[in-house]
Structure 1
Amino acid sequence: MSRRRDELKALLGGAPPAEAEAPEPQATASEPRPRSHSSSGAVKAMGLALGNLRAEAEDARVLREQVARGERVVEIDPNLVEPAFVADRLSQPDRSDEAFDALCRSIEEGGQEVPVLLRPHPEPERARAGWYQTAYGHRRVAAARALGLKVRAVVRPLSDVELVVAQGKENSERRDLSFIERALFAEALLQRGFERATVQSALSLHKAEMTRLLQVAEAVPAAIARAIGPAPKAGRTRWMLLSDQLKTASARDKAEREIATERFAKATSDERFVLMLERLTRKARPANAAPEALAESGGRVVAAFRADAKRPVIEFKGEGAFAAFVASEIPALYAAFKAQEDED
């Protein structure tokens, strides 16, 4: 009983068990040793409790080791999970993201099949409070949070470099990131001081591919890219074409006006890309072009329009009554023009 009592103290943080137990004094014939059924039951109960504590302590130790090695999938409150320090996605669950909605339905109906990869939070105080940081699986974490479920995760100690390599490789292997997302992710990693070789490894890129990604990331302002979104159908060729169109301040101003339109706000990400490209590649009327004849339905020319770069001119043919009528309609025409410009 004494040995079991010492072992129990050791498990609960008391003194370690003694190396040897002193023999109990033997009862003499004149003084028989009393035996009690109640004390025997207490000893048995203590033995069972001690065994349970040993088993729980061993389970906890094994769990800690498995989590440290990333060998065990655990369930974690997604409200205690922060995103990685570099975002790899442009899609936002709070904007019409059909893929995210489909992911939520899938998890709600069939559960989360693929665990996410987390690391204990790199800030010691937050780590002690039970916080984690995502290496990959941001959308699955967001879906679990939206559904009020715990997220299934593998937790593994990771350095910053190990985190971004794992983050990039998982997305590359699943072909999950669009061209512009990969471009902005690569640029963000370089800006945080990661070596170019590390970034190429993280995204599984060749040198030429890396160069094209960075060219587009540099030419397309981040605000415009975020407004368009991932545009998964756009691809490298059309993003490079769009980046060529955004080299001037006037083009970027035109892009900002397109973003402010109602049609842009209502469109999907791929539709927003098309609207932006069409807006920027719309051809202006060439300066000093030949006069354009303006004819009535019967074919008679009533005026000619000359698109002079500095001072466009309309020349009326014949009597001045029609010219006077057009002049009186100019305020209404200008108001209609401004309304259309604001809509475009």
Structure 2
Amino acid sequence: MSRRSGKSILANFGSFADVKDQDDRENTDTPKRDMPGPTRAPGRVGAGVIGATQRSLNDLIEQRDRLQAIVESGGNVELSPNVIVPSPFPDRLADDTDKEFEEFKRSFKETGQKVPIQVRRHPEKEGVYQVVYGHRRWRAAKELGIALKAVVVELDDSELVVAQGIENGQRQDLTWIERALFVATMDDAGIRTKDIRAALSIDDAELAKMRSVCRVVPRDIIRSIGRAPSVGRPRWLELAAAVAAQGAEKKLRETLSADKVMAMASDARFRRVLASLKEASPETKNLTKLYGLGGQELGTIAVAKGVVRIALPTSRGADFAEFLERELPSLVEQYVSTKSGDS
């Protein structure tokens, strides 16, 4: 799994809230950090996000402070888990096994709930709440049939995804493809690009890569592959390029339909799917990488049996794709003019 270097941008400014989700350390006595004041200088951030920091640092601090105030103004209540539904913006794929959750549920039952979950009122259903974070605690309480301590806050959709992204960024346990699917879900809901970047503490280049993979690889196939915790961005981009080059959706579905493949852990499923696309074929044999003047990879081109497939999953490749779209009509005219004198 490819991990981001360092903490999320917002994590460098201190905890998002005292009620932050601690699903994977619910029953430990981890000391909480105090929220720094708004004038405290931020900590250092990794080089991978320095562009985003320079561009929107003040916006992120303002967003953090505003959401912090909203959280602090919320009230602690007890709610039946039956009146709570998941966030409308799912950010996790199913685990390969429920063993860890069963252990969590047992501990939850024995020691009780130590940290409230955070919810907002459902925008369309009276008396119903949506989870902002704390999904595992909600699921455990629902299965155990016990009430939940919750903090109710007023958040619109943009604020919800930012709050959800901050919490997940501080835990840093989402895989790369889960984060990419979270981006796709936010795009579908019309969340502004600025808010998506803030939610995941990513820059424009990383956002473009996440979007490109989810545009090329069908989401149901991604979900069938699963979390793939050991698979990072480069290999997902490799898979997307292979899918685009071969038009291989049917091949992927056939591979994943096999019972022995679906019985594998998600990392193994990913490897099997990628290997199925690398098997010798005229298209893969003639696959050629495309590079820009500076040596940056743009994508690949494959020519076989009169079929040309160009895959441009990189951010620079997206610019090249727009160029091709503009210039293709004139290229066709040039070709036709060269053939006009042929007998």
After the TM superposition, which of the residue ranges 153-162 and 222-231 deviates more from structure 2?
153-162
Does residue 1:167 correspond to 2:164, yes or no?
yes
Kept after mapping to 2: 8 A contact 1:169/1:202: yes
Provide the C-alpha distance between the structure 2 equivalents of 1:149 and 1:156, rounded to a whole number of angstroms: 22
Distance 2:76 2:241 in 1: 46
For residues 182 and 190 of structure 2, the distance between their equivalents in structure 1, rounded to whole angstroms, comes to 13
For 1:199, the equivalent position in structure 2 comes to 196
Asked if the contact 1:75–1:153 (Cα under 8 Å) also holds between the matched residues in 2, the reply is yes
Determine if contact 2:246/2:283 at 8 Å carries over to the other structure. no
The residue identity in structure 2 corresponding to 1:155 is: V
Match of 1:213? 210
Counterpart pick for 2:86 among 83, 87, 96: 83
The aligned amino acid for 2:89 is V
For residues 280 and 99 of structure 1, do their structure 2 counterparts lie closer, same or farther at Cα, with a shift above 3 Å needed? farther
2:146 alignment partner in structure 1: 149
State the secondary structure of the residue aligned to 2:248. Answer: helix
Letter in 1 for 2:118: L
Structure 2: gaps of 5 or more residues: 1-69, 286-303, 306-343
Q: Distance in 2 between matches of 1:211 and 1:250?
A: 21
Counterpart CA distance in 1 for 2:203 and 2:212 is 14
Relative to the length of structure 1, the TM-score reads: 0.57
Deviation at 1:248, TM superposition (A): 4.6
Matched, 1:234 2:237: no
Give the alignment of 1:40-59 within 5 angstroms: none
Q: What amino acid is the match of 1:106?
A: S
Q: Tell me if structure 2 keeps the 8 A contact 1:91–1:97.
A: no
Q: Partner of 2:120 in structure 1?
A: 119
TM superposition shift of 1:69: 4.9
Question: 1:137 corresponds to which letter in structure 2?
Answer: G
- Output the CA distance in 1 between the equivalents of 2:99 and 2:275: 24
Range that drifts further, 133-142 or 194-203: 133-142
Q: Shift of the alpha carbon at 1:168?
A: 1.0
Q: For each residue in 1:47-81, what CA deviation from the matched residue of structure 2 results, as whole angstroms up to 9, or x when unmatched?
A: xxxxxxxxxxxxxxxxxxxx985454333211111
1:264/1:111 CA distance change after superposition, 3 Å: farther
Q: Structure 1 CA distance, aligned partners of 2:220 and 2:142?
A: 27
Which of 175, 180, 188 is the matching residue for 2:177?
180
Aligned with 1:154: secondary structure? Answer: strand
Structure 1: runs of 5+ lacking an equivalent: 1-66, 289-308, 311-344
Distance 1:211 1:158 in 2: 27
Task: Report the Cα offset of residue 89 of structure 1.
Answer: 1.5
Aligned 1:1-344 pairs, distance under 5 A: 69-91=72-94, 96-123=97-124, 126-127=125-126, 130-248=127-245, 250-284=247-281
Count of aligned positions: 219
Q: Report the equivalent of 2:23.
A: none
8 Å contact from structure 2 (residues 121, 154) kept in 1 = yes
Cα shift at 1:108: 2.8
- The structural deviation recorded for 1:278 is 2.0
Instruction: Provide the TM-score with structure 2 as the length reference.
Output: 0.58
CA offsets per residue over residues 180-222 of structure 1, 9 Å max, x none? 1111111221222111011100111122211211121212110
1:294-330 Cα shifts (integer Å, max 9, x gaps): xxxxxxxxxxxxxxx99xxxxxxxxxxxxxxxxxxxx
The amino acid that maps onto 2:107 is S
1:223–1:105 Cα change, 3 Å: same
User: Using a 3 Å threshold, how does the CA distance of structure 1 residues 103 and 279 change in structure 2: closer, same or farther?
Assistant: farther
Tell me: CA distance 1:259–1:71, structure 2 relative to 1, closer, same or farther (3 Å).
same
Q: Percent identity?
A: 39
Q: Displacement of 1:118 after TM fit?
A: 0.1
What CA deviation, in whole Å up to 9, does each residue of 1:224-264 have, x standing for no partner? 00101111211112111111121156522111011110112
Q: Equivalents in 2 of 1:207, 1:287: separation in Å?
A: 31
Q: Cα distance, 1:280 vs. partner?
A: 2.0
CA contact (8 A) 2:157 2:191 kept: no
Which of structures 1 and 2 has the bigger CA Rg?
Answer: 1
How far apart in 2 are the matches of 1:80 and 1:287? 52
